[in-house]
Amino acid sequence: MTWQGSLLHIHIAPAASYEMEELAEAQLIAGRGIAGDRYYLGTGTYSPKPDVREVTLIEVEVLEAIAKGEPKIPGFKGMLKPEDHRRNLTTRGVPLNHLVGKRFRVGETILRAARMNFPCKYIEELLGMSGLYEGLLNRSGLNCSIEVGGIIRPGDPILPMDE
């Protein structure tokens, strides 16, 4: 599979439930996370659990599909902005669900995709959007570890490494 994507948005929050803050650039620290983010600081909702969540990604194409109510089943329709979905990085042109177990480059960093992210009812409560959980099933993003840290910025290319 050949693809090339790009990084659209970077968001962090200092603790669980805090509003996501958009960044013009971010420092990714190998084995830790994004400097200043809740999972880097150990203050995220899922921080105490043994899980790879150093950086999380979601496809903007998912947000666009949800805005149209696609797929028709479950048919959830709603406006989910990049600062709403609670993932760190919003991408375009990156087949996230196909990357589990693979390495890829984001700007000068290298990430390893650990597992697909699972939606939770918490996001429905936080945003007041009943049905969002079902709307995000099987397309809620990707949880990654950071193998090589560095600076990332919106507009950076995202490229496969293990093809």
| Ordered per-residue pLDDT tens for the chain, 163 residues | 689 999 999 999 998 889 999 999 999 999 999 999 998 998 887 676 667 889 999 999 999 999 999 988 888 899 999 999 999 999 999 999 999 999 999 999 999 999 999 888 888 888 888 889 889 999 999 999 999 999 999 999 999 996 5
Helices H, strands E: what count in the chain?
A: 4, 11
Q: Where are the domains of the chain?
A: 5-160
CB-neighbour burial class of residue 39 (10 A; exposed 0-12, middle 13-18, buried 19+): buried
Instruction: Identify the DSSP state of 41.
Output: H
- The amino acid present at 96, given as its one-letter code, is L
Residues contacting 27, CB < 8 A, separation 6+: 34, 35, 149, 150, 151
| CATH node for 5-160 | 2.40.33.20
Q: What SS3 state is found at 52?
A: coil
Q: Any bridge partners for residue 160, and if so which? A: 104
Cβ proximity of 80 and 132 under 8 Å: yes
